[in-house]
Structure 1
């Protein structure tokens, strides 16, 4: 097996017939999680002051690790399925969403060593949490779920349209009924939309609420409608998740059966 092919199998989940995680996959996952944890705790001033040197060394190590991983993925990209020359496939990976995420994580990890601005450094430390997006490389199940959700995009769009309609009706009703009584909360439809959103989602912060009988009736309508509408996408997501997991199990069972037949 060529080095590039072996490297591709090691860093790409699902490239082996059984679809299992390799040792390199597991290592990459743990490094990503560790980098995210470091990015989170390094925003605490007391920890940063006491362990500045250790955090700096860890940042250098993570930045170097992600740079090597990114270069390895670019090098192994020709082994990915699809037509085109080696460099065309590499360029396709670089421009792909996951390739751009990998590049962004490398830049964010290494940028603090070239930037002295404190405000920018705080932002970069915050952006490190987006390294979690790199886990998309290792989540075949997540790709299955996203595919199932795309199949139900029309259903979700209908739910979103119903929710927006209810929000707009509720906000318009409170603007008409109580805009003159509570101008700060309901003096315009955009202001009333904040109340409609927190009511429909059953959050209810209590910073805005109707005081008239008619306004309370509108509020009750939005609240009850919100409970019903929240249940709709929940059911759609549950069905999509179940279908995705079932397809994943069937694909793994088929791959294992083919391996047994060959063996």
Structure 2
């Protein structure tokens, strides 16, 4: 039992980036990162019919190989989760299984099994695209992602405020253009939901040009909406820029602390 516990601790240190006692990633996590990138690249290449045709067996074998590795890793992470005080015992492991990182791990191994259940082409394509989620798993291996996540969380109220303001402006602009252009262009502006497509394209400054007001009053309010959209885009952009700046500063501070600690030892 003692040897088993020691082995579990070693596996935990290999799989959990924060538990690895040396700088950088453990050899196991480096290998997993390479496998994630290779599996993601395979999923992207497989979407090209000219490459897939006649080679389905090869892609299926490669996918089976990748999935086997991810299943083994997922089971190992559940097994060693108890080394973290937050996830000790059976209840703790269940709690770990519902964390965002563990859910992404589970989704990364599900496509191969789900493809056998799907008969519609759309379902098959949807299940296969779940493999792209594997690239999100790289976030747990990077302290930069953790710093960015912390910085964004600290600015969550400002971001929510900008989202609420955007929703309000979207509704107001859609309502005004519906009232002005509804009779002139019922197909494009005949209802508030229809008008929202134009409002989204205008407020985000994309401006596809497939739908636009034709009356003078409608064009006047469209101009106001476009000008408002510039400020609307600038608001979350500034918030995100400040959050990323905070994340970079946090990362530099952490690296400096580690360097000082290593020099002292």
- Residues 53-89 of structure 1 show CA distances to partners (whole Å, capped at 9, x for unaligned) of 211110110110100110111121122243x634333
Over the aligned positions, Cα root-mean-square deviation in angstroms equals 1.9
CA contact (8 A) 1:18 1:255 kept: no
Structure 1: 5+ residue runs without aligned partners? Answer: none
Structure 1 position 256, deviation (Å): 3.3
Distance 1:234 1:31 in 2: 34
Decide which of 209, 213, 228 is 1:206's aligned counterpart. 209
- Paired residue for 1:24? 28
Structure 1 position 190, deviation (Å): 1.2
- Paired residue for 1:251? 254
Matched, 1:121 2:158: no
- Paired residue for 1:101? 104
- Show the 5 A alignment for 1:44-55: 44-55=48-59
Structure 1 position 19, deviation (Å): 4.9
Cα distance, 1:79–1:257 mapped onto 2, change above 3 Å: farther
Distance 2:117 2:167 in 1: 43
Distance 1:159 1:111 in 2: 38
CA contact (8 A) 2:181 2:213 kept: yes
SS state of the match for residue 31, structure 1?
helix
- Paired residue for 1:80? 84
- Residues 99-123 of structure 1 show CA distances to partners (whole Å, capped at 9, x for unaligned) of 11111211223444x4472523332
- Paired residue for 2:63? 59
Decide which of 92, 97, 108 is 2:95's aligned counterpart. 92
**TM-score after normalising by structure 2:** 0.90
SS state of the match for residue 17, structure 2?
coil
- Paired residue for 1:227? 230
Distance 1:53 1:87 in 2: 39
Decide which of 167, 170, 175 is 1:172's aligned counterpart. 175
CA contact (8 A) 2:81 2:88 kept: no
Distance 2:19 2:242 in 1: 28
Distance 2:262 2:92 in 1: 29
How many residue pairs align between the two structures?
A: 260
**Hey, which bits of structure 1, 4+ residues long, moved more than 6 A?**
none
Structure 2: 5+ residue runs without aligned partners? Answer: none
CA contact (8 A) 2:147 2:251 kept: yes
- Paired residue for 1:38? 42
Matched, 1:218 2:221: yes
More relative contact order, 1 or 2 (CA 8 Å, 6+ apart): 1
CA contact (8 A) 1:195 1:208 kept: yes
Bigger mean CA offset, 47-56 vs 183-192: 47-56
- Residues 122-178 of structure 1 show CA distances to partners (whole Å, capped at 9, x for unaligned) of 322122111122223213222221221121122112212222222222111111111
